[in-house]
Structure 1
Amino acid sequence: MDIAYWVVAGLLAAFYLYAGGTKLVQSQEQLAPMMAWAGTTIPMAGVRAIGALEVLGAVGLVLPRLTGIAPALSVAAAIGLTVLQVLATGFHASRGETKDLWLNVVLVVAGASAVWLALATA
């Protein structure tokens, strides 16, 4: 179970570090081809906040369990990222952006798996 957690958490962390880092460092113009909502529907301050949450969640999945310091924070990070993706799924569905909802669903399932694995190996 521990290996399964590290595989799921590692993949999620890599994804969220990239996605969150992109939201943190790129301009509205650079984000527009990938995320038409960035800076229009959601102000750039909100986009940056989402990016920061994603990066913090990625770190939270890995660092507490790796160091053994407050490993329960990994559970909290997995729950937070899962909730974030549930909200993102609803947001994209409400905008009619259904062709890419599969990614949100995969991330919800992976996040819920990380929660379960983190609790099972705690």
Structure 2
Amino acid sequence: MIIAFSIAAGLAALVFLGAGLMKVARPKPALKQNGMGWVEDFSAPTVKLIGLAEALGGLGLILPVLTGIVPVLSPIAGIALAVIMIGAIVVHVRRKEPVVPPLVLAVLAIAATILGFIVIS
């Protein structure tokens, strides 16, 4: 199970860390220009906060298990990321945008969460 968790959590961490850092580093107009129309619905600090939450959640998926320091935080980070993605799904549905990317990420975060709870028990 540790291999399955490592794959799911590592993949999710990579995606969330990359997406989060992009939202933190780029200005709101650049994000909109790159196809993230949903940023129109949020202020610039809120977009940065979402990015920070995604980046920290990505790190939280893998670092606790890798370091052995409070490994229960890994599945908790997975739960938090799934909640963020459920919010993203709601935003995309309201804007009549494709919901597949946040749906896939939500499923990946949930899979990492379940596997994380199995691994740490």
The TM tier, using the shorter chain, reads over 0.9
| Equivalent residue, structure 1, for 2:113 | 115
| Equivalent residue, structure 2, for 1:42 | 42
Q: Distance in 2 between matches of 1:94 and 1:29?
A: 21
Q: 1:102 is matched by which residue type in structure 2?
A: V
| Equivalent residue, structure 2, for 1:32 | 32
Q: Distance in 2 between matches of 1:106 and 1:15?
A: 11
| Equivalent residue, structure 1, for 2:70 | 70
Q: 1:121 is matched by which residue type in structure 2?
A: V
Q: Distance in 2 between matches of 1:29 and 1:84?
A: 22
Q: Any stretches of 5+ residues in structure 1 without a counterpart?
A: none
Higher helix share: 2
RMSD: 0.9
1:37 CA displacement: 2.4
| Equivalent residue, structure 2, for 1:61 | 61
**Alignment identity in percent?**
37
* TM-superposition CA deviations, 1:12-40 (whole Å, max 9, x none): 011011100010000122111221222x2
Normalising by structure 2, what TM-score?
Answer: 0.95
Runs of 4+ aligned structure 1 residues displaced above 2 Å come to: none
